[in-house]
Amino acid sequence: MKCPKILAVWLAIAGLTVAPIMPAHAAINSMSLGASYNAQKTSITFRVYSSQATRMALYLYASGYGVQDSATYVLSPAGSGVWAVTVPVSSIQAAGITGAVYYGYRAWGPNWPYNASWGKGSAAGFISDVDASGNRFNPNKLLLDPYAQEMSQDPLNTSNQNADVFASGASYRTIDSGTYAPKGIVLSASGQSTGTKPTRAQKDDVIYEVNVRGLTKQDPSIPTQYQGTYYGAGLKASYLASLGVTAVEFLPVQETQNDANDVVPNSDANQNYWGYMTEDYFAPDRHYAYNKAAGGPTAEFQAMVQAFHNAGIKVYMDVVYNHTGEGGTWSSSDPTTATIYSWRGLDNTTYYELTSGNQYYYDNTGVGGNFNTYNTVAQNLIVDSLAYWTNTMGVDGFRFDLASVLGNSCLNGSYESAAPNCPNGGYNFDAADSNVAINRILNEFTVRPATGGSGLDLFAEPWAIGGNSYQLGGFPKGWSEWNGVFRDSLRQAQNELGNMTIYITQDANDFSGSSNLFQASGRSPWNSTNFIDVHDGMTLKDVYSCNGSSNSQAWPYGPSDGGTSTNYSWDQGMSAGTGTAYDQRRAARTGMAFEMLSAGTPLMQGGDEYLRSLQCNNNAYNLDSTANWLNYSWSTDQSNFYNFAQRLIAFRKAHPALRPATWYTASQVVWYQPSGAVATSSYWNNTSNYALAYTVNGSSFGDANSMYIAYNGWSGSVTFTLPAPPTGTNWYRVTDTCNWNDGANTFVTPGNEALIGGAGTNYSQCGQSLLLLISK
């Protein structure tokens, strides 16, 4: 869950009136929304949706900030809730706009009908800030086109820090936002290639999650002007390829409120670094562009994608379609005051899910209100956005933040008129409903086949807040999911033995693909996205170096708020005087080894490869700081860990037996007790056993080697008796994560494996470590 500091409220839920019938979606952007030139570039057509507006006006500007409009045009109804106007380019130029065209809308509706005496900053025509039907029209607020392909700037930026400008309510409704508001920018095709998309099967991927700014912001190998930009990120493609990464997953890169991060650079802890407050679902974030001119961020993003594609690396985006950057009402007792800069002022009842009386927002996100994902037009925006990023921007897949909200089967009022469908008030996850957004996405797009080829890779964060929103394993076939159980089970096994009951069966299941979660729905091991750590929580090093979170630190490591209190982390006894830095590195090696040796799709956080630390801050969403940016000046220990990570990833890629397309059979994976006997039900069910081993039969996967993997969860050493390797071979050691093996060659390169022996050979394994052998 994301925890930015905004005015948000958790509200009680009751019934609403039935929402209007929405038009069906026949094709991608079937309503041709947005602003587009004609083929000859002699005119621009502007089309925007509002089912409740009674008047819509287009305002054109010569620049994005600080100037009055140069021309205005009244739009006409074009059917199905669409408003449209076509403007000759000659007229735009005659108005004094000779460069990029910036634009926004002003809208009137039932709560604020048009009055001919109205002027900017006027209350003429005003009835209410929000009416009984949930309308929040306010013509004093210039509105961003939800389909704008670029934005001029964020609402709050280096020139404006006054959020009141965009607010409704008695104190703010007559403040005109026109000169301050973000404008859409009319673009023509950039002509920049995004390269050839990789067709690799998802099962063969290793995902690297990172913030596009943090990837290069303090990288001395990148020219200063490109650090922290899309251009700079593209220059790191060869680095990630050499590490073994096959897919880079960027934290949100759609426009978000982060221009204000630079108001007081490197000292203001109340920033938006992660980017989970989306302002525009089509526009690449201008803050990350070296070329900030109109069209620059789009072309630069496309060039970055091309650089990664040229290196064989897929580009994934973390997308936030569950809520928007407008947030919720500013108070739980006063519904009149809310931020208005786009969706809310165009069609509040279409784009947001409203609670009883239509005054407030139903909230499963914790940051203001649900995007109305069961509404057809709101769904259209999601699908059209995904299509744009896929087809125009070259993106290969998406990770959906709080994706359970996209499985919501409740509309405004649907739980009053059809209560059985919405037993949890205004929220009910229902993967069986063909009309929920997660199924709509499957219907509109091709998911990449299991064997590889063209298509999208789709990843769900399968939880939200409240109701039946925790849905790990509950998404339909076609979706992969972030496997939080894998994370928790592994952390518990390593860090909580003695503090809680540990079930070896759960870990064994996780290591082989989590069939208990995904097999029944017809999915495969690779649909389990396996991770130990991600942006939302502790780093890999901190999982094994911290006894809990520490978020109230001074800049640059804090202060931050929020974050989970259930970290399953441990400093390996360092603070008690029983552990050392060697123990912490051993634990990190062991955790990463299990992640990369398990069936599923591994996901690592940027910086894990060199043991990056945030000094136990587990919710650093607000730190656009040197601590949160990756660091490329490494100690010897960090360089050694990089060697380990790089060779571990290469080993995974070299052995198809670790990347099964289907579930392991009993002949492919055999589980053993330390004695060498095959594990029985009595062994599995005894929670006092926490040492296990298994073999993976390489021959059935066309793999030249079979593998033996042993894990000792106890603090003391355990002797493992090795089973027989394939006929004519012996067991050779690839890695032992124990302290004695700490160094540059903990994980050996191919050909340098140490001979251990054959059947019956005893191997003494130190506590809390992993052993990997291959047959040859």
Q: Which two tokens stand for residue 718?
A: 């355990």
The yes-or-no answer on residue 401 being catalytic is: yes
Report the alpha-carbon distance of residue 527 to residue 474 in Å, rounded: 12
Quick one: DSSP state of residue 408? B
List 401, 595, 608, 624, catalytic entry: 401
Report the alpha-carbon distance of residue 107 to residue 50 in Å, rounded: 9
Q: Which two tokens stand for residue 290?
A: 């070296």
CA dihedral 215, 216, 222, 228 (to 10 degrees): 130
Report the alpha-carbon distance of residue 741 to residue 47 in Å, rounded: 65
Fill in the amino acid letter for 432: A
Q: Which two tokens stand for residue 653?
A: 């890629």
Strands 762-765 and 691-696, by their bridges, are unpaired
Q: Which residues contact 21 (CB under 8 A, 6 or more apart)?
A: none
634 Cα distance to chain centroid: 28
SS3 135: coil
- Unique residue bearing structure tokens 């000859």: 40
Report the alpha-carbon distance of residue 398 to residue 386 in Å, rounded: 8
* Nearest Cα to Cα of residue 60 among 148, 162, 165, 184: 184
Q: What are phi and psi of 606, to 5 degrees?
A: -55, 130
| Residue 439 burial by Cβ neighbours in a 10 Å radius (0-12, 13-18, 19+) | buried
748-762 as b/e, with b when 16 or more CB fall inside 10 Å? beeeebeebeeeebe
Report the alpha-carbon distance of residue 162 to residue 180 in Å, rounded: 10
Report the alpha-carbon distance of residue 386 to residue 606 in Å, rounded: 24
Q: Which two tokens stand for residue 150?
A: 């670029």
Q: Which two tokens stand for residue 648?
A: 């571990």
Q: Which two tokens stand for residue 621?
A: 């969403």
Q: Which two tokens stand for residue 429?
A: 């996850």
* Nearest Cα to Cα of residue 730 among 751, 750, 705: 705
Report the alpha-carbon distance of residue 305 to residue 229 in Å, rounded: 13
* Nearest Cα to Cα of residue 139 among 175, 182, 108, 171: 108
- Compute the C-alpha angle 760/505/497, nearest 5°: 90
Q: Which two tokens stand for residue 276?
A: 């989970």
Quick one: DSSP state of residue 10? -
Q: What are phi and psi of 238, to 5 degrees?
A: -70, -35
| Partner residues linked to 731 by β-bridges | 757, 775
What is the SS3 assignment for 718-745?
EEEECCCCCCCCCEEEEEECCHHHCCCC
Report the alpha-carbon distance of residue 321 to residue 323 in Å, rounded: 6
User: Which string of DSSP letters, residue by residue, matches 86-106?
Assistant: EEEHHHHHHTT--S--EEEEE
Q: Which two tokens stand for residue 714?
A: 């106890």
Compute the chain's Rg from CA coordinates.
27
Task: Determine the longest span between alpha carbons in the chain, in angstroms.
Answer: 94
List 131, 249, 461, 481, catalytic entry: 461
The yes-or-no answer on residue 461 being catalytic is: yes
Strands 43-49 and 762-765, by their bridges, are unpaired
The catalytic residue positions are: 401, 461
